[in-house]
Amino acid sequence: GEDVEQSLFLSVREGDSSVINCTYTDSSSTYLYWYKQEPGAGLQLLTYIFSNMDMKQDQRLTVLLNKKDKHLSLRIADTQTGDSAIYFCAEKADSWGKLQFGAGTQVVVTP
């Protein structure tokens, strides 16, 4: 079955870059997403990438996709304390709507 894996924890100093990694197994995945969850809040979509792309940049966020290795990463430039949250990657096949999520990466930004 499908499986999405992420590292569970990342600590980064304010101002440095953060890189969160994700691997997935479903080769039919068409769209891959990054969601952010702050304490006590729901999930907020950060960005997504279509599977025929290998990179997408959106302000401080850069998404890299290696479809051959089924590896997705999210880079946050100039990480701020407000970036402390849990980050989920998710995959979706085009033929149905449900998202398959990873377990989430807890990012802690230290001053």
Residues that bind another protein (CB under 8 A): 31, 35, 41-45, 48, 50, 88, 90, 94-104
Beta bridge pairs of residue 11: 108
Nearer to another protein, 51 or 79 (CB): 51
* Min separation Cβ 40 and another protein, Å: 8
Query: Around Cβ 13, how many Cβ atoms within 10 Å?
Result: 10
Nearer to another protein, 64 or 99 (CB): 99
Contact 52, 94 (CB under 8 A): no
- CA 12 – CA 21 distance, rounded (Å): 14
Contact 36, 46 (CB under 8 A): yes
* Min separation Cβ 50 and another protein, Å: 7
Nearer to another protein, 10 or 90 (CB): 90
